[in-house]
Amino acid sequence: MKIWKKQAVLVWLVILVTMMTSKGGEAAIGVNWGTLSQHRLPATKVVDLLIQNKISKVKLFDADPEAVNALRGTHIQVMIGIPNDFLSILSSSSIAADSWVRRNLSAYVSSNPPADIRYVAVGNEPFLTSYSGQFQSYVVPALLNLQQSLVKANLAASVKLVVPCNADAYESTVPSQGAFRPELSQIMTELVSFLNSNASPFVVNIYPFLSLYGNSDFPQDYAFFAGTNHPVIDGPNVYYNAFDGNYDTLVAALNRIGYGQMPIVIGEVGWPTDGAIGANLTAARVFNQGLINHVLSNKGTPLKPGAPPMDVYMFSLLDEDSKSTLPGNFERHWGIFSFDGQAKYQLNLGLGGGLLKNAMDVRYLPARWCIANPSKDLSRVSNHLKLACSAADCTRLNYGGSCNGIGVNGNVSFAFNSYYQLQKQDVQSCDFDGLGAVTFLDPSVGQCRFLVGIINPSSSHGLRGKWTIIWTLFFSGSIVILLQVK
């Protein structure tokens, strides 16, 4: 009996190691878990959702304590992010780097049960053209300080530093001529040399949707994976989709500086479901399923045949209704699940879990909505609309959105309800000087869904999960201490 138990334990360990380790030459699918939402699903529910869908890799954009604590003991591999605003401090202070590692890595890795933190993303797209070099000089010094901190904490062997880059860091007319932007040439050489010496991959975010969104001449079928009438001919290589072309442009850029064999991780890739022309459920399902099938086929690309990306992190797990809409209204609608953990469309992640499974036991507010009062004149509604939409998410109402065509009364009702649910259905929040009315009949129309808020006992506005910087004066000068407010 004892021998049988030992064998059972051994079998379990083998299975566990297999689950936790990517097979050589095969890509692994993970997800980005962003938390910029006013209707935030409890972290424990999100982790249950990951487990239920057999998702074993997750990327966070900061070291949010609620999220990291919920991931402890799950064997889900975690990439923790450091916001760009921290790079300046971390680049100039080894003490700040030590503090960050101690509080946000050591505290979780050494806890019982531990969090399986594999990567730290130092900044997020810090070389983005629109930042005009704001963070550029901080990246490598921050990496060097953090690496020293990892060594001091005995974490350098298990936790790797990476820098997620936007695809605009490199450029070319055809993939084989790929090169990093001239102003990034030196810093990219330093970065890639650092990554290579520490066995870290190059992380890149690739978005064919943005190519289509920003260029009316971009062939629509080239953004997907079903073939195209507009292939890119590059000598002996033919590219039938934008993802492969973009990926190989990076491969060529890395090869140009002597690191063509460096492993590559896709930090973000996906397709939004709302907020713009071309952002819809059908297109998102076709793109994401095509991408997953393409990557898991292990065919690779013309410049890297049989060698797909090391990992691919889908963007994203959940919608985030507090994200900036500066790039476009679609920014709040990238989730493969809606804010409440319900699958938006049928998708097989190729992880053995079949089609997406919904979050279970989600607690909703009562089934009631705020709509425009049908007996009132709405000619004075504009200021109320501005109030509602300045606080709540109204991006579905804009051109290309799923609620754009539901008429004036419908638009007013959608805005009123969005604000009402944000205020936890407080009766006064549906008044709008008598122009609003509460209804128990769902006013949703077609794909225009009028939401009902969820109950998250742990959520609160303000500083929860946010970072603050405290300056402490000592005898010899200023010491920066990074704290995370819980």
By annotation, the residues acting in catalysis are 125, 268
Q: Which helix (H) or strand (E) holds 289?
A: helix 281-296
CB half-sphere exposure, 180, CA atoms < 13 A: 22
Query: Residue 473 contacts by C-beta under 8 Å, 6 or more apart in sequence?
Result: 479
* Coil, strand or helix at 203: strand
d(CA 54, CA 224): 25
User: Tokens 């009949």, residue?
Assistant: 441
DSSP string, 17-53: HHHHSPPTT--EEEEEE----SSPPPHHHHHHHHHHT
Residue type, 485: V
d(CA 217, CA 230): 11
Nearest CA among 255, 317, 442 for reference residue 35: 317
User: Tokens 């690309």, residue?
Assistant: 301
Beta strands 28-33; 311-314: pairing state: parallel
* Coil, strand or helix at 291: helix
* Coil, strand or helix at 354: coil
Q: Is the dihedral of CA 348, 353, 355, 359 positive or negative?
A: negative
d(CA 260, CA 366): 56
